[in-house]
């Protein structure tokens, strides 16, 4: 009897081969967003640039990273080192510049940073991005269910959303975009790092069945903190007159730069959380699918060592709540200048006083003057989240307040929203 003899492969061999092929076909993609602009937001710009620099160094190719940031900051005339961005001080040395790589790779800049465009990029709606940006070939991913996604986002925040250019993205919009990606089967696993005050409020209702792990700089009700603020904002004897970077970002970046090929998501979270808590009240938080904690960071970033630098565990220098940073910086600018003209500082103090008066008017109209005066210095932990979000958004839309909100504003809003019924407000009588 003649013929072709066949040999069937064992099922285990076939399964292994299929799994290996899936890994080979899978790819890693990353999106890095910075939403705010202006030299005063140097800290967001420097850490965003550092994240992009680190992703490239880890082995993710540039065509697999979308980089959206404001290019104006490193070229700002106030920058003592034009074209450079530093996250760490170096009083007597030349510092560690990250901008040399970043400024060559902007995919979207300040002109296209708005909620509509960011959400279209996130949901991979290429036609919408073309319409909004007027670009013929905008960079938009078309990932598959085999790929992983890493998203880093830095801006100001409030309870219920984050800033985005001159607008904002609400919790519902951000989670809606991620759910759209899930429905499109555009990823196997997704990790989202968010730097913003009250950043936990964007993810505290995130379902656990979307294969998404969110890692935020703060919980849902507290501010994020800046680091290396004046007087510790010095490189090579030059003062920046800004907060150089964000505390949370510095910590997780220090860790993944030193241990990028070995550290897991859970280890990165826990060690960042513990170090930040050691020196500050900022509560770094995690949300979503916590089973992903055991995954190595190399699942989402490249598998090359990011740096050979000796990155040591340092006690932070000059921490300032993000909401207090503008006033802190302005005071130090006045101290250093030696000038008698305090008009800029006076304008800032006046603006802050106006906002405080409006919030106190709001509190007095609902709580009464005595209770409001008591509550403005007290944290309220049980309150109507929807009410709080509405109050913050109305303060921005009707009174012109800006993110992030100082602690007194948060305390009064929480006290107002401690009941089940959302109170009505005569905003014309509140806003000046």
- Kindly report the CATH number that applies to the domain delimited by 24-322: 3.40.50.1460
Portions of the chain given CATH number 3.40.50.1460: 24-322
How far, in Å, CA of 91 to CA of 83, rounded?
19
Output phi, psi for 248, to 5 deg.
-55, -45
How far, in Å, CA of 321 to CA of 328, rounded?
10
| Dihedral over alpha carbons 139, 144, 146, 150 (to 10 degrees) | 40
Residue 17 corresponds to which tokens in the numbers above? 């081969």
How far, in Å, CA of 362 to CA of 177, rounded?
34
Residues in the chain: 432
Collapsing DSSP to helix, strand or coil, 286 comes out as strand
- Classify residue 124 as left (phi > 0), alpha (psi -120 to 50) or beta: left
**Which residue, chain included where needed, has tokens 């992903």?**
292
Distance of CA 57 to the CA centre of its chain: 21
Return the bridge partners of 30, or none.
65, 150
404 preceded by a cis bond (ω within 30 of 0): yes
Strand-strand pairing, 212-216 and 285-288: antiparallel
Q: What is the pLDDT along the chain (432 residues), one digit of tens a residue?
A: 444 444 455 655 554 444 444 444 579 999 999 988 888 899 999 999 999 999 999 999 999 999 999 877 766 788 999 889 999 999 999 998 988 888 888 999 888 999 999 999 999 999 999 999 999 999 999 999 999 999 999 999 999 999 999 899 999 999 999 999 999 999 999 999 999 999 999 999 999 999 999 999 999 999 999 999 999 999 999 999 999 999 999 999 999 999 999 999 999 999 999 999 998 889 999 999 999 999 999 999 999 998 755 555 567 889 999 999 999 999 998 888 877 678 888 898 999 999 999 999 999 999 999 999 999 999 877 899 999 999 999 999 999 999 999 999 999 999 999 988 889 999 999 999
Model pTM score? 0.91
Strand-strand pairing, 28-34 and 148-154: parallel
DSSP state of 383: -
Helices (H), 280-406: 325-337, 343-367, 369-375, 385-399
**Which residue, chain included where needed, has tokens 């090359």?**
304
- Classify residue 164 as left (phi > 0), alpha (psi -120 to 50) or beta: beta
């Amino acid at each position: 009897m003649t013929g072709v003899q066949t040999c069937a492969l064992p099922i285990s061999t076939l399964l292994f081969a299929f799994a290996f092929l899936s890994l080979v076909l899978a790819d890693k993609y990353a999106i890095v967003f910075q939403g705010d602009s202006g030299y005063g937001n140097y800290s967001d710009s420097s850490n965003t640039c550092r994240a992009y620099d680190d992703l490239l160094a880890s082995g993710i190719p540039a065509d697999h990273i979308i980089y959206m940031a404001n290019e104006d900051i490193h070229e700002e005339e106030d920058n003592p080192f034009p074209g450079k961005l530093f996250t760490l001080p170096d009083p007597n040395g030349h510092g560690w510049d990250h901008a040399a790589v970043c400024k060559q790779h902007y995919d979207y800049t300040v002109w296209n940073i708005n909620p509509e465009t960011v959400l279209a990029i996130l949901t991979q709606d290429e036609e919408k991005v073309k319409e909004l940006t007027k670009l013929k070939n905008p960079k938009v991913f078309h990932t598959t269910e085999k790929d992983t996604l890493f998203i880093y986002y830095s801006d100001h925040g409030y309870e219920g959303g984050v800033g985005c250019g001159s607008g904002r993205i609400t919790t519902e919009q951000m989670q809606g975009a991620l759910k759209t990606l899930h429905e499109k089967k555009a990823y196997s696993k997704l990790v989202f790092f968010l730097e913003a005050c009250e950043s936990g409020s964007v993810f505290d209702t995130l379902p656990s069945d979307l294969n998404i792990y969110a890692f935020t700089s703060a919980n849902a009700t507290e501010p994020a903190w800046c680091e290396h603020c004046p007087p510790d904002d010095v490189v090579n004897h030059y003062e920046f007159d800004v907060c150089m970077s964000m505390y949370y970002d510095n910590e997780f970046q220090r860790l993944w730069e030193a241990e990028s090929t070995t550290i897991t998501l859970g280890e990165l979270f826990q060690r960042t959380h513990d170090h930040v808590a050691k020196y500050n009240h900022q509560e770094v938080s995690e949300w979503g699918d916590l089973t992903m904690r055991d995954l190595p960071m190399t699942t989402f970033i490249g598998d090359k060592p990011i740096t050979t630098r000796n990155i040591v565990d340092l006690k932070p220098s000059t921490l300032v709540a993000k909401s207090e940073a503008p006033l802190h910086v302005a005071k130090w600018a006045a101290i250093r200048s030696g000038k008698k003209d305090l008009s800029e500082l006076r304008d800032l103090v006046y603006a802050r006083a106006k906002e405080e008066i409006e919030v106190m008017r709001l509190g007095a109209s609902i709580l009464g003057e005595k209770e409001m005066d008591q509550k403005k210095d007290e944290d309220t932990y049980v309150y109507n989240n929807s009410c709080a979000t509405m109050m913050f958004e109305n303060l921005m839309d009707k009174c012109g307040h800006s993110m992030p909100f100082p602690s007194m504003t948060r305390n009064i809003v929480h006290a107002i929203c401690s009941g089940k019924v959302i109170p009505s407000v005569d905003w014309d009588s509140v806003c000046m």
